[in-house]
């Protein structure tokens, strides 16, 4: 594998460095210190001048293992199903990338559902018609048809030109900018031939309500949202490029949260803030039967360190405000050292036990060859159970 950049490491390619410095949408993903440009904690694909650069987490000494771990974490955190062939394709940078594979998964999943029939729903329309259809609109007829031989009506049309299909059409056209193999996306576009195309701002998109009629499209919708949120089109000095990057803070949190939820009962994954007077708190994971709060921190910790002051205050606030909690835990990815410390925060009846632990995400290539993704998940679940006792 070529063109590998690791999180938190310096970039050595001068052309790529200049491109990043001159492209403002990329500034949040990299850190400029004097003359040095470092990657931050965002991993994925950065395409520049028709060359793909993988930005990977530094977990193992092996490039292949780091890519495998990153792909496996994405699969598990976002509940994506990739075959062994698709995983292997992610490493073939001349033909595929992670983005290419994810787009193909989305397109194939969508086509499979569209073959069963395009989704239609009743939509209320108003139009000037030669014959009455539906409800006669008196005011509109006086306004528009005073001297015309037409009838202004309001009626329900069973139509494929609905919000969900408009979203899918926008997605398949948008994703064609980022992939070489457009065949499946083009096929989806043809099926949506009676759907109006319009630009969609996913940050302002109304929540789609799924029911028994359109529920079969929910997985396609979730993968589409993932692709749209993480893909970043970049246009600079006439050169088209893109990025497909994930914040490892978010990925690590989602990965651990799902693992804990599948391994223990009475687990609450906090979706929003809870208010305690004027204090708004949002821990990552609450394991009720263990009387434990876990916060995932994608940071580097060494054996002789303790958590920084802000993190200690945060965990102290959790322990003193959430009911039936005895222990708070800060969970880090293992870097160089195993982290296993316990300290007491506060005094008397306000004391909180704070544990600081690390989890080893490394997965030896010999293990990967014997079971791949399933073996990786099994190993990490076992390590989680060793930490949460």
| Residues 76-115 as b or e (16 or more Cβ within 10 Å = b) | bbbebebeeebbebbbebeebbbbbbbbbbbbebbeebbe
Distance from C-alpha of 375 to C-alpha of 153, rounded to nearest angstrom: 62
Q: What integer is the mean pLDDT of 108-127?
A: 87
Looking at residue 51, its pLDDT comes to: 83
For residue 267, list its beta bridge partners.
287
CA gap 296, 330 in Å, rounded: 6
For residue 234, the model assigns a pLDDT of 63
Residue 304 banded pLDDT, cuts 50, 70, 90 = confident
Reported as a single tens digit per residue, the pLDDT across 282-293 is 999 999 989 999
What band does 81 get if pLDDT is binned at 50, 70 and 90? confident
**What residue ranges define each of the domains in the chain, with the CATH number in brackets?**
4-116+163-248 (no CATH), 121-159 (no CATH), 264-387 (3.40.1350)
49: β partners: none
The predicted pLDDT at position 155 comes to 73
Q: Where are the alpha helices (DSSP H) in 264-350?
A: 309-321
Provide mean pLDDT across the span 343-347.
90
Q: Are 102 and 229 in contact (CB under 8 A)?
A: no
Percent of the chain with pLDDT over 70: 93
CB atoms under 10 Å from CB of 230, counted, come to 19
Give me the pLDDT at residue 92, please: 66
Confidence of residue 237 (pLDDT cuts 50, 70, 90): very low
Burial of 121 (0-12, 13-18, 19+ CB in 10 A): middle
């Amino acid at each position: 594998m070529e063109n590998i950049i690791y999180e938190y490491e310096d970039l050595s390619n001068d052309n790529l460095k200049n491109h990043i410095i001159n492209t403002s949408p990329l500034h949040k993903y990299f850190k400029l210190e004097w003359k040095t440009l470092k990657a931050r904690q965002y991993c994925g694909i950065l395409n520049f001048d028709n060359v793909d650069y993988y930005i990977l987490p530094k977990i193992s000494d092996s490039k292949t293992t780091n890519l495998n771990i990153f792909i496996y974490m994405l699969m598990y955190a976002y509940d994506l199903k990739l075959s062994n062939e698709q995983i292997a394709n992610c490493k073939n940078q001349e033909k595929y990338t992670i983005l290419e594979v994810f787009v193909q998964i989305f397109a194939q999943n969508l086509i499979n559902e569209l073959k069963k029939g395009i989704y239609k729903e009743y939509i209320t329309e108003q139009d000037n018609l030669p014959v009455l259809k539906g409800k006669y609109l008196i005011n509109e007829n006086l306004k528009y048809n005073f001297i015309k031989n037409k009838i202004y009506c309001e009626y329900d049309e069973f139509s494929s030109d609905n919000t969900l299909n408009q979203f899918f059409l926008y997605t398949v056209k948008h994703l064609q900018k980022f992939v070489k193999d457009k065949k499946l996306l083009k096929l989806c576009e043809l099926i949506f031939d009676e759907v109006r195309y319009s630009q969609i701002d996913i940050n302002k998109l109304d929540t789609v309500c799924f029911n028994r009629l359109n529920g079969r499209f929910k997985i396609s919708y979730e993968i589409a949202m993932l692709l749209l949120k993480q893909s970043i089109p970049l246009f600079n000095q006439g050169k088209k490029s893109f990025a497909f990057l994930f914040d490892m803070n978010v990925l690590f949190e989602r990965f651990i949260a799902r693992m804990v939820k599948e391994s223990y009962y009475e687990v609450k994954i906090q979706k929003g803030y809870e208010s305690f007077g004027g204090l708004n708190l949002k821990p990552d994971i609450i394991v009720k039967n263990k009387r434990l709060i876990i916060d995932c921190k994608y940071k580097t910790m060494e054996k002789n360190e303790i958590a920084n002051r802000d993190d200690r205050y945060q965990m102290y606030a959790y322990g003193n405000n959430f009911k039936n909690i005895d222990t708070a835990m800060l969970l880090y990815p293992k870097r160089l050292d195993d982290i296993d410390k316990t300290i007491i925060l506060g005094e008397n009846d306000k004391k909180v036990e704070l544990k600081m632990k690390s989890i080893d995400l490394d997965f030896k290539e010999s293990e990967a060859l014997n079971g791949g993704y399933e073996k990786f998940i099994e190993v990490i679940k076992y390590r989680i159970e060793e930490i949460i006792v």
